[in-house]
Structures are given as C-alpha cells and as structure tokens.
Amino acid sequence: MQATYQNPVYDYRASPDQQAEQPVHHPLVIIGAGPVGMAAALDCARQGLPVVVLDDNNTVSIGSRAVCYAKRTLEIMDRLGPGQRLVDKGITWNRGRVFAGEGAVYDFNLQPEAHHRRPGFINLQQYYFEQFLVEQIQDEALIDLRWKNRVTGLSQSEQGVLLDITTPDGLYRLRCDYLLVADGANSGIRTLMGLESKGQIFQDRFLIADVLMQGDYPTERWFWFNPPFHRGQSTLLHRQADNLWRIDFDLGWDADPEFEKQPEQVIPRVRALLGHDNFELEWVSVYTFQCRRMDKFVHGRVIFIGDAAHQVSPFGARGANSGIQDADNLIWKLKRVLDGKAPRRLLDSYQQERSQAADENILNSTRSTDFISPKNKVSRVFRDQVLALARDYPFAQGFVNSGRLSLPSRLLDSALNTPDRDAFGDRQAPGVVATDGPVLTADGELAWLLNQLGNEFCALFFADDAEQVPVGALQALQQGDMPIRVLVLLAKGARGTCAGLPLLQDREGVLFERFDATPGSLYLFRPDQHVCARWRRWDIEDVRRAQARACANLEETEHE
Amino acid sequence: MNDLKLTLNCPDPDHIYSRLIKLHRVDDVERSLRINARLILLLANHIGDTQILEQALEIAGSMEMQGEKAHA
C-alpha cells in the first residue's frame, strides 16, 4: 500500500548537549514534532525565540490521518512560512452534497465571502503537511529539531523543568524554563505527570479507506446517511492530493477492527460505494474517538497544546486546526514572559482563551457526532426526519449536521481585550481574529492585509487621505520598550505618501466596511492577529494601555 | 426575555386537538413517531425564538422527570 507517498526518514544526529557534564539549559523545549509542535516551533522562530524540538520518531505521519485544513490554519501558515506550498499541493473545495437513503437531499456551496486570500478549506494528507513544516524548520537557525529523542523522565521546580531523554546513543538531560507538550491525544508526558484528559468516549468505530482513483471525479465532499451500499450507517467521501480519495465508513460499535481492516473486507465496501473497480487501496485504518480535555492546560512550567490538551471527534476538522491555533495563541505570550516584558500570569490567558475554544470545539463535534450516529431510537427518528424534510423544505437543510465548518474562536470575554469606548459593529469586536482583504502596497503591489500584520503588536490606522495621517503619534507607537508595527490603510483610490509609515490602500474597498472603520479609526492587533482594542478617536496613551492590558501588564488586572 | 404563552392562545382548541388525533388515527407507533418529529421540527423552525423553545423544552421535559420520581 502507500503507492503515492514514501515516508521520508530524518536522520538522528547527536547533539553536543549529549556530551555536556551538566544538563544544558534552553529557554524552551517542545515535545512532539507533529503539526502542532512544529507550528509552535516555527512561531518561536518568528518571535526570535530559540527552541529545541524533541520527537521520539524519525519521520512524518504514517498514513494520511488529518485531512482538512481550515482557512485560519492557512493564514497562520502564511505567517509561519509554508502557507503557499500547502495551498498549492492541497485540494481546494467548496461544494458538498448530502445524500440519504437512495437519493440526494441537497447540495451546498461553502464558497466564502469574496476577497479573501485563502479558501474556506483545503484537503491535504497529514504527511505532506508535516513534511512541508519539517522542510521549513530545516531552514530556521533558531529551531533545533532532534529526531529519535524520547523523553522518559521529567521533574519541575520553581526554576524550570529537567528532562531525561533517551536516544540511540543513550540517556542525556536538558533543562528548560518552559516545556511545551505536543505529543498528541495519547500524550505520554501527560501520563508521566499523572494528569488526565476527561470527557466522553463515543461507542462507535469508523473505517478509513484512502483509495487511489484515476479519472475525472468532482472535487466535492459527499456525505451519505443510510446509503444502499452501507445500510443503517453513514459514509463520507472526500478528495485529497495525488488523486487520493478519503472514504469514512461508520461501522458501529460491534465491528471487529482487525477483521474490518482486511482488504477482502474493505474492497467490496468501496466497490459498492463507487460502483466500479477502478481504484487501488492506499491506506486503511479503524478508529474510535473521544471528546475530552484536560482541566488545566498550564501546569507550572509545563504547558499542553493540541490533542494532548484537548481531543475532539474528526467531524468538523477541529483537531489539528485548533491545535495550531493553540500555538498561535501561546508563543507570543511565552516570548514576552521569557523576555521579562510580561508577567507570568499572561500565560493564564492561554488557559482561558484556548479552553473556551476547546469547549466550543467539543460542543460542535459532539453535536455532529450525535447527528451522524444517533444514540437511541428517537434521536434516529429526528435525524431521519430532518433529512426527509430537507429534500423539499430548505429550512431543514440548516438542521443537517455532517460536521460544521471550523471557524476561529471569537475571544469576546478575554481579559486581554480593551472594551469598546466607541460604537462599532460586532464583526471585528475585540477578541475576534482580524479578517482578511485585498490591499495595494505603496509600491503598487497586489497584496493581502493579513500578510502585512507581521509577528508583533500591530496598529492599523484608517485614513481617507494621506494628509490626515497623524504621523507624529503613529511614529511614537513605533518607538519605546514595546514597539508597535504601524500600518496606514488608505480608502480605495486615495493616494499620497507618509514619511516613514507603510501605506496600504483598500484595493477593493471592502476593508473599511469589514472593520466598520471611519477615517481616523485605529485597530490594535495582538501578534496572533486577534483584535485587542479599537477606537474611532484615540491618543497614544489609549493604545499603550491597551497593549499593556493585552500583555497582562496593567495594574488593575493584578487586582481582578 | 420573551415568554412562552401558558394561557390559551388557540381560537379553536377543539379543532386543533382533533387534527392532531386524526394525524395519528392509524395505530402505528413508528409512523406516529416520524409524524411527530416532522411536526416538532416544522413548528420549532417557525417559532425560531430560542428562548421560547427553551421554555417549552423545559416544561415538557421536567413534567416527565416529576412523573418518573412519582413512579419511583
């Protein structure tokens, strides 16, 4: 099997740290070089923070596993580096069809709002995603990725964390100020620390078959409830790169995973679905799933991210996508804490913001699971009648839940937000991630807003005309102990220059509208591109206070 | 907050009641389950107000719980 992909083998290389008499100290160590651990490492490089990544294996994901990468993940990957490569290799899709019993129920188009750089989703095998991140990491001087390094012991004190690491050359030790744990759903480190991830185990088994098909098949997501070829259960068909198709069969709880995995079992199922024999089996797996999370993601100087911290069912693409947002949320905070520019309690906001996101993801994923595989008779009746109504009555299509689009969490309750003083629309309220939109740079280059925001705090000033820009005040924000990146966005068609300030133009005129901005408005974005404050009228002190609040540096937050 | 109407709101309750009974005239519980599910979905969508629906769900569910306790 695996005709389309050969797993790379990354060489183990001994580190000079292994010969040191005393454990060598690093500010930050990450355990796990999966999508989430590697995203965190790349973000460290963007923040100028040196990092050691330890992985107990020497290759990328075996089999395709995670398949759907959402728009927000692609936007983060644009900031971290490999965004374009992922989109080029991935399959962009917008159209989905839902079938029930013998016939079609309805089809939908997820075509997002116009004028965004990235699509709603791409489908891409996890091994490509990981491979592209590894290759990006190989170009990063600040990242020391060590294959075949297994952490077998861990202790922490107020001063830091001490790790025992087993390698092909034997044992060595490392010290670090902070440890990030990204070793996946069955986290060995979580177990080593005697911690739990608690929640719901679903009594259901799914068969994944990745099949290779040559031919002209539509790039669509097809979902069947109770189809004639798989009575009583559901099936999902999805396209990946390299003419590979992902098929998920719901098998129910009583299925025998070893038996169902055998090609003699799988091939007839796939043939019944496709109605032909023109395919080859690439990879097969049977999985069960859980929706669960740790109570606390931060344990002293050990911080859990991704599936190690929280796990969801695969419906709705909320696993890898939310883990990557964990990294996006955490790394800028850690950098500021390590630099002494923010207090340690800034890390509490990681717990607060990302556990809210985890709860949202668990809720959505549980709801999808309950719809896809109803747990009792009446819930099955409701499900089937939603599908029956959906054929003729459009309202019922809204009740059909074969997985909800994963959107970034709106962190409206975050303690890092400065509440609005001026009246603004809700779309870009403090806590919400910045929306994208087309811009024109000062050089006349076609570009996108999110790619301009950088890796620091960023202030975006909206102006009608370059003459109106308060150059002095904006330049003052670029100075000081915590410099802010400043961008000026001119209305569509406006021209002019502004000494020392990067000028952008609202190329299609959509950004003023999306941000509900008027000339003179200022938005302040955190380094993870979430809005933390906005004003129609502001002064330097307002912006500095909002930045201080977003770094947990305000006096009043101490007393809260 | 919008309140669920708990005093009579139907101009002709006898008519509505007899229509419900007629819908279930065929003595087939499976069929009736399906009909009721469709009816609930149609009405829930028409009402569309989450607060109103929450109150109705609460009353419908909690009466059963009292009953279960009474039987226990």
The CATH number assigned to the domain holding A317 equals 3.50.50.60
A324-342: pLDDT as tens digits: 999 999 999 999 999 999 9
Q: Give this complex's ipTM.
A: 0.93
Residue A438 pairs in a beta bridge with: A448
pLDDT for B66 equals 62
Whether the pLDDT of residue B1 is over 80: the answer is no
A382 vs B: CB within 8 A: yes
Beta-sheet strands, E only, within A205-309? 206-212, 220-225, 234-239, 244-250, 280-287, 290-293, 298-299, 302-304
Classify burial at A541, counting beta carbons within 10 Å of its beta carbon; exposed 0-12, middle 13-18, buried 19 or more.
exposed
pLDDT for A1 equals 56
Q: Which domain holds residue A185?
A: 16-91+119-197+295-367
Ramachandran quadrant class, A188 (left: phi over 0; alpha: psi -120 to 50; beta: rest): alpha
Q: Rounded to 5 degrees, what angle do the CA atoms A70, A74, A77 make? A: 140
A457 & A324 share domain: no
A284-301: pLDDT as tens digits: 999 888 899 999 999 999
Indicate the SS3 state at residue A382. Answer: helix
Q: Does A374 map to a domain?
A: no
Q: Give the domain ranges of chain B.
A: 13-70
Q: Which amino acid is at A284?
A: V
A448 & A334 share domain: no
For all residues of chain A together, what is the average pLDDT?
94
Q: Residue A91 in contact with residue A241, Cβ under 8 Å?
A: yes
B37/A399 touch (CB, cutoff 8 Å), yes or no? no
Whether the pLDDT of residue A206 is over 50: the answer is yes
Of A385, A395, A396, the CB nearest to B34: A385
Q: Does A165 map to a domain?
A: yes
pLDDT for A181 equals 98
A55-101: pLDDT as tens digits: 999 999 988 888 999 999 999 999 999 999 999 999 998 889 999 99
Nearest to A236 by CA among A336, A373, A421: A373
B42 vs A: CB within 8 A: yes
A379 vs B: CB within 8 A: no
- Distance in angstroms (rounded) separating the CA atoms of residues A472 and A461: 13
Whether the pLDDT of residue B67 is over 70: the answer is no
A370-397: pLDDT as tens digits: 999 898 999 999 999 999 999 999 999 9
Beta-sheet strands, E only, within A394-457? 438-441, 446-448
A345 & A494 share domain: no
Question: DSSP label at A307?
Answer: G
A75 & A191 share domain: yes
Chain pair A-B, CB pairs under 8 angstroms: 26
A395 vs B: CB within 8 A: yes
Classify burial at A312, counting beta carbons within 10 Å of its beta carbon; exposed 0-12, middle 13-18, buried 19 or more.
buried
State the pLDDT confidence band at A559, using cuts at 50, 70 and 90. very low
Q: Identify the residue among A379, A384, A395 best suited for mutation to test binding to B, counting B beta carbons within 10 A and taking the highest.
A: A395
A382/B37 touch (CB, cutoff 8 Å), yes or no? yes
B45 vs A: CB within 8 A: yes
Q: List CB contacts (< 8 A) between A397 and chain B.
A: none
Q: Identify the residue among B38, B39, B40, B42 best suited for mutation to test binding to A, counting A beta carbons within 10 A and taking the highest.
A: B38
State the pLDDT confidence band at B68, using cuts at 50, 70 and 90. low
- Total of domains in chain A: 2
B38/A378 touch (CB, cutoff 8 Å), yes or no? no
A385/B37 touch (CB, cutoff 8 Å), yes or no? yes
- Distance in angstroms (rounded) separating the CA atoms of residues A285 and A265: 12
A8-27: pLDDT as tens digits: 999 999 999 999 999 999 99
State the pLDDT confidence band at A202, using cuts at 50, 70 and 90. confident
A179-197: pLDDT as tens digits: 999 999 999 999 999 999 9
Whether the pLDDT of residue A255 is over 60: the answer is yes
B33-60: pLDDT as tens digits: 999 999 999 999 999 999 999 999 999 9
A492-537: pLDDT as tens digits: 988 888 878 999 999 999 999 999 999 999 999 999 999 999 999 9
pLDDT for A560 equals 42
B33/A381 touch (CB, cutoff 8 Å), yes or no? yes
- Predicted TM-score (pTM) of the model is 0.94
Q: List CB contacts (< 8 A) between A389 and chain B.
A: 38, 41-42
Q: Does A274 map to a domain?
A: no
Percent of chain A at pLDDT above 70? 99
Q: Min CA distance, B40 vs chain A (Å)? A: 9
H helix and E strand count, chain A: 14, 28
CA nearest B34 in A: which residue? A381
List all residues 6 or more positions away from B19 whose beta carbon is below 8 Å from its beta carbon. none
A357 & A448 share domain: no
A259 vs B: CB within 8 A: no
